[in-house]
């Protein structure tokens, strides 16, 4: 048995503008993604690798709401990659989940990207970066970003990724109310105008530091009307001293900037005192590059 462990980071959307819609109904985005140091720990074990053979995947995760069958995105990533190489195996994927599902933080997509990257490396499959990105996009719109990490301007339906210098180490507060929001539902409900030519993503991609005027999310028009608790979290973060706050992705997580005059811990503590049912994380933006590895050298048993 071959085993390796990696960390799968969450992401936040510092800005998300809906700029159009394709003929097939998919919305086109212009967004700034940032990987943060809130991570899942993913342990991947491989045995009985041979060709030709079907891949049997066993997902183990105790977090409520995370599928442990073949619908899990990490399991689908493993099957897709081995099918690409004409191989099959017995794979066990253990996920110690810290990133809640359906929170707009991309946890499932990050798990899938980690599986693609890890299996390609430890099994020496030599699948090209270009092909990995193509497979990642077939799995989900956010998956390709996690092969890049750091900060990036992401456009289209997730296929156009422009790494940007970003702000590695920038402190953020992420508040996660106990609400699950369906991404598909949020986009189906979007009926606003399209922000074609939106300046905010372009400005941040050019290096302008995030500030209140740039932190916009068009999906708030849909989500906050149905989930006023998220709007309450936004207000609470600002009242606690945050300089700006915006919903991440389709929610329910809210990301906030910390002013230079305050520490992240001070903002988090002030917010938590009046919002005891909301999970609060003090996080930082990760530098560009692949997600950090806990155990880059695979072990054999």
Question: How many whole angstroms separate alpha carbon 164 and alpha carbon 111?
Answer: 22
Phi first, then psi: what are they for 143, rounded to 5°?
-65, -45
Choice among 97, 142, 218, 234 that is catalytic: 142
Active site residue 218: no
Residues belonging to the chain: 301
Choice among 11, 30, 40, 218 that is catalytic: 11
Active site residue 160: no
Radius of gyration of the chain (CA): 19
Question: How many whole angstroms separate alpha carbon 70 and alpha carbon 56?
Answer: 9
The β-bridge partners of 90 are 47, 56
Q: Helix, strand, or coil here: 229?
A: helix
Question: How many whole angstroms separate alpha carbon 220 and alpha carbon 148?
Answer: 26
Locate 1 and state its tokens. Answer: 């048995």
Peptide bond into 83 cis (omega under 30): no
The β-bridge partners of 40 are 8
Q: What are the catalytic residues? A: 11, 142
């Amino acid at each position: 048995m071959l085993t390796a462990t990696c960390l799968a980071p969450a992401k936040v959307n510092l800005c998300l503008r809906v700029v159009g819609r394709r003929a097939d109904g998919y919305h086109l985005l212009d967004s700034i993604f940032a990987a943060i140091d809130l991570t899942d720990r993913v342990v991947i074990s491989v045995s009985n690798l041979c060709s030709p053979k079907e891949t049997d995947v066993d997902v183990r995760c105790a977090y409520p709401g995370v599928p442990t069958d073949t619908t899990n995105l990490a399991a689908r990533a493993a099957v897709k990659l081995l099918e690409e190489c004409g191989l099959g195996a017995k794979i066990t994927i253990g996920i110690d989940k810290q990133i809640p599902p359906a929170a707009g933080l991309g946890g499932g997509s990050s798990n899938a990207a980690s599986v693609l990257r890890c299996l390609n490396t430890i099994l020496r499959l030599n699948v090209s970066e270009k092909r990995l990105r193509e497979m990642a996009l077939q799995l989900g719109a956010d998956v390709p970003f996690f092969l890049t990490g750091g900060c990036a301007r992401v456009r289209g339906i997730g296929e156009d990724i422009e790494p940007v210098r970003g702000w590695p180490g920038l402190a953020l507060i992420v508040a996660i109310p106990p609400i699950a929001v369906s991404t598909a539902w949020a986009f189906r409900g979007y009926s606003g105008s399209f922000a074609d030519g939106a300046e905010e993503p372009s400005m941040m991609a050019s290096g302008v530091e995030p500030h209140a005027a740039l932190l916009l999310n068009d999906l708030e028009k849909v989500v906050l009307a149905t989930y006023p608790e998220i709007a309450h979290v936004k207000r609470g973060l600002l009242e606690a001293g945050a300089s700006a706050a915006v919903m991440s992705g389709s929610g329910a997580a809210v990301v906030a900037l910390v002013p230079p005059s305050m520490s992240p811990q001070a903002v988090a503590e002030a917010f938590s005192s009046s919002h005891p049912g909301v999970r609060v994380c003090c996080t930082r933006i990760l530098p560009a590059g692949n997600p950090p590895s806990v155990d880059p050298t695979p072990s054999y048993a």
